[in-house]
């Protein structure tokens, strides 16, 4: 999905905690010996002030993003969805700019300890990055096949909006409506972008249409079983009834309200999205092309390079690094081929690994479950090894799940969603398993470690 400035900034925040640096001066006089202590106390005082300031700004920032607070396990603004308009992004950027001005005016950088200085630098950096990105606000795809809000928002409600009591269910219902509003806001942005030639390639449109239609299939939209969101609401209500939290009469009332919002708000917003995509698909590129084709596209590309690498390397320099790495890795693979005494060239070796049935699970639900179970075993093994190499480990557990049917894609990339900071909600390693012929066994161990531990779970949950 299109993450807000707030969500990105919150994810990037480093809190300014920690002990002041030791002073290793070798001076022997009493006055000189006392000086480091005074300096240390001064540094600690300024660092403590900055810590408190970050606490306050962090909370202000979180209050701008109900989605981010839910990810963190909190229930503030539990019935809301983030404002997805350009106006909201501009307002968030103005707020961030004001915090940087306040930071520079009120804190003495030289009196901060090293960790506090790092946090200071990161806060300024995230503003500079957001300001640079704002120049290209209309050039990123609003909807695509990898991170569109059309699938994220339902997934968010299903997996992250916990319903522990009646109040949580009462927040779930306006969030359904808020999701529809968000789709409408984002659709307006997409309609504006295509006027400037900014649109995803054809295969992305086709996938988004398929996913959007899938989310509006089943009850209450038609009679082919329950839709994903109605099924989720029913499951949440059943759980509340089983735990004697609500009565059957209350459950019926909530289910009727869910059905009403799905029919009157959710369905129209998704049908409008589908209609837009189907009418615009004739204008898409059958073969994906780069942003260089767009006006100011090269500047946008270079801004993205800076975002993702934090360097000033040019596209040509990065491309050359890639070529050098391909050569190095190719030589490594040739060495492996020779070690296992494979008869044939490297391409033959690749074809063998890609096609021999020994490297794949059965292409059915049973095979998918085998993939999940073996991935769990790999992660259980590596979890025992982590304390030998790392001092800080996530509080949250890590689970492995198959991607929900409404957004599952053949051969799509596995991905990760973070757990809550208190460890109550686990991190999730998701795998697309609708086509097991695209999920070879020889890749799964490395992917499990990349998406889980010691990869994204440690990186993001910590």
31-89: per-residue pLDDT in tens? 434 444 444 455 569 999 999 999 999 999 999 999 999 999 999 999 999 999 999 99
Q: At what angle do helices 166-194 and 149-159 cross, to 10 degrees?
A: 170
- What would the pLDDT profile of 119-151 be if each residue is shown by its tens digit? 999 999 999 999 999 999 999 999 998 878 999
In our burial notation (b when 16+ CB lie closer than 10 A, e otherwise), range 134-144 reads: eebebbebbbb
In this prediction, residue 43 carries a pLDDT of 54
Residue at 44 is within a domain: yes
pLDDT at res. 146: 83
Tokens of residue 248, six digits: 């059957």
Domain hosting residue 54, numbered range: 5-134
Last residue of a domain, one of 108, 134, 160: 134
Domain boundary among 82, 110, 134: 134
Note the helical H segments in 356-435: 365-385
Q: Residue 205 domain-assigned?
A: yes
Could you tell me if 250 and 156 lie in one domain? Answer: yes
Q: CA torsion sign, 396 to 397 to 398 to 399?
A: negative
Q: Note whether 339 and 363 are same-domain residues.
A: no
Measured between alpha carbons, how far is 153 from 157 in angstroms, rounded to an integer?
A: 6
Q: Are 171 and 79 in contact (CB under 8 A)?
A: yes
Q: Looking at the structure, do residues 160 and 269 belong to the same domain, yes or no?
A: yes
Residues 344 and 447 occupy one common structural domain: no
User: Is the same domain home to 258 and 326?
Assistant: no
| 356 backbone dihedrals φ, ψ, rounded to 5° | -65, 130
Whether the CB-CB separation of 67 and 80 falls below 8 Å is answered with: no
Domain match, 276 and 248 both? yes
Examine residue 47 and state whether it is found in any structural domain, yes or no.
yes
This prediction has a pTM of 0.77
Residues of the chain with pLDDT under 50: 1-3, 5-40
Q: Is the residue at 143 inside a domain? A: no
pLDDT of 289: 87
What would the pLDDT profile of 184-197 be if each residue is shown by its tens digit? 999 999 999 999 99
Q: How many domains does the chain have?
A: 4
Distance from C-alpha of 138 to C-alpha of 195, rounded to nearest angstrom: 11
Domain check: are 325 and 369 in the same one? no
Are residues 258 and 320 both part of a single domain?
no
* 298, part of any domain: no
The pair phi, psi for residue 201, each rounded to 5°, is -70, 170
> Does residue 329 sit in the same domain as residue 238?
no
Radius of gyration, alpha carbons of the chain: 26
Examine the domain organization and report whether 158 and 218 are in the same domain.
yes
Residue 175 in domain: yes
Rounded mean pLDDT of the chain? 89
Asked if 10 and 103 sit in the same domain, the reply is: yes
pLDDT at res. 42: 53
Q: What is the pLDDT of residue 455?
A: 95
Domain finish residue from 103, 134, 165: 134
| Same-domain status, 369 and 342 | no
DSSP string, 264-279: IIIHHHHHHHHHHHHH
Pick from 129, 128, 126, 116: nearest CA to 15: 116
Residue 303 lies in a domain: no
- Is residue 45 assigned to a domain? yes
């Amino acid at each position: 999905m299109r993450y807000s400035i707030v969500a990105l900034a919150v994810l990037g925040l480093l809190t300014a905690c920690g002990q002041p640096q030791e002073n290793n001066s070798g001076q022997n006089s009493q006055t000189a010996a006392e000086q480091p202590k005074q300096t240390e106390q001064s540094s600690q005082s300024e660092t403590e002030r900055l810590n408190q300031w970050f606490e306050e700004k962090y909370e202000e920032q979180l209050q701008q993003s109900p989605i981010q607070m839910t990810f963190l396990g909190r229930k503030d603004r539990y019935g809301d969805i983030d404002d997805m308009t350009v106006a909201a992004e501009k307002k968030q950027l103005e707020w961030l700019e004001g915090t940087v001005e306040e930071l520079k005016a009120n804190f003495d950088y030289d009196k901060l300890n090293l960790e506090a200085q790092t946090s200071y630098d990161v806060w300024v950096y995230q503003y500079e990055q957001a300001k640079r990105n704002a120049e290209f606000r209309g050039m990123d795809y609003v909807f695509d096949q990898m991170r569109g809000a059309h699938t994220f928002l339902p997934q968010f409600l299903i997996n992250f909006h916990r319903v522990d009591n009646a109040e949580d269910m009462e927040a779930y219902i306006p969030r359904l409506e808020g999701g529809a509003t968000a789709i409408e806001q984002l659709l307006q942005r997409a309609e504006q972008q295509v006027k400037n030639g900014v649109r995803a390639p054809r295969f992305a449109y086709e996938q988004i249409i398929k996913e959007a239609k899938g989310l509006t299939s089943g009850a209450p939209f038609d009679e082919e079983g329950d839709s994903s969101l109605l099924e989720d609401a029913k499951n949440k209500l059943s759980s509340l009834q089983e735990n004697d939290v609500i009565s059957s009469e209350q459950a019926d009332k909530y289910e009727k309200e869910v059905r009403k919002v799905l029919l009157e708000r959710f369905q129209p917003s998704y049908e409008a999205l589908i209609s837009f995509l189907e009418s615009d698909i004739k204008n898409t590129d059958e073969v994906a092309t780069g942003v260089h084709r767009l006006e100011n596209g090269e500047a946008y590309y270079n801004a993205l390079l800076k975002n993702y690498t934090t360097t000033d390397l040019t596209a040509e320099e990065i491309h050359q690094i890639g070529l050098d790495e391909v050569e190095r890795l190719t030589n490594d693979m040739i060495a492996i081929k020779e070690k296992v005494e494979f008869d044939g060239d490297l391409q033959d070796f690749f074809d063998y690994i890609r096609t021999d049935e020994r490297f794949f699970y059965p292409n059915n639900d049973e095979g998918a479950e085998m993939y999940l179970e073996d991935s769990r075993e790999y992660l259980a093994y590596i979890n025992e090894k982590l304390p030998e190499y790392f001092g800080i480990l996530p509080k949250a557990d890590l689970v492995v799940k198959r991607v929900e049917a409404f957004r599952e894609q053949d051969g799509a990339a596995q991905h990760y969603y973070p757990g809550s900071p208190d460890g109550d909600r686990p991190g999730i390693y998701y795998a697309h398993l609708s086509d097991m012929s695209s999920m070879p066994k020889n890749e799964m161990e490395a992917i499990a470690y990349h998406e889980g531990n010691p990869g994204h779970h440690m990186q993001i949950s910590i």
